[in-house]
Amino acid sequence: MDVNNAKSQMRKGMLEYCILLLLKRQAAYASDIIQQLKEADLLVVEGTLYPLLTRLKKDGLLAYEWQESTQGPPRKYYCLTADGQQFLTELDLAWGEISNTVNYLKQ
């Protein structure tokens, strides 16, 4: 069995949650999101991130606003909506349950 495939599937399952956690702190540009995830050892490429951001916006969990940039054209900054905040609260509860289950089983 390929452990890298299992790790990849685990990361995919956590990616949405991790993005919402980052955007809870502050609005962010897509490149900033990728950089912050990279700093947390969760490697994501633009081809994965942009479709996910689009889906989260379509689902009403994210909004965006254009902000002027000193380095080129305006940038799209994503932020949580009220629905996104509520969804994140529910994911926090789910993560706690999953974490408790895994920690219990590891004993």
Full DSSP string of 41-96: T----HHHHHHHHHHHHHTTSEEEEEEEETTEEEEEEEEE-HHHHHHHHHHHHHHH
The C-alpha atoms of residue 33 and residue 50 are separated, in whole angstroms, by: 11
Report the pLDDT value the prediction gives residue 50, as an integer from 0 to 100: 94
Q: In this predicted structure, what is the pLDDT of residue 5?
A: 86
pLDDT computed for residue 9 by the predictor: 84
Record: fold of 11-106: Arc Repressor Mutant, subunit A (1.10.10)
- Cα–Cα distance, 42 to 70 (Å, whole number): 28
Rounded Cα distance between 88 and 18, Å, is 10
Q: Could you give the percent of the chain with pLDDT greater than 70?
A: 100
Asked if the model's pLDDT at residue 11 lies above 90, the reply is no
Mean pLDDT of all residues belonging to the chain: 93
Domain ranges of the chain: 11-106
Q: Nearest 5 degrees, angle CA 78-CA 42-CA 27?
A: 15
Q: What are 64-73's pLDDT values in tens digits? A: 999 998 888 9
pLDDT computed for residue 60 by the predictor: 98
Tens digits of per-residue pLDDT, 22-71? 999 999 999 999 999 999 988 888 899 999 999 999 999 999 999 998 88
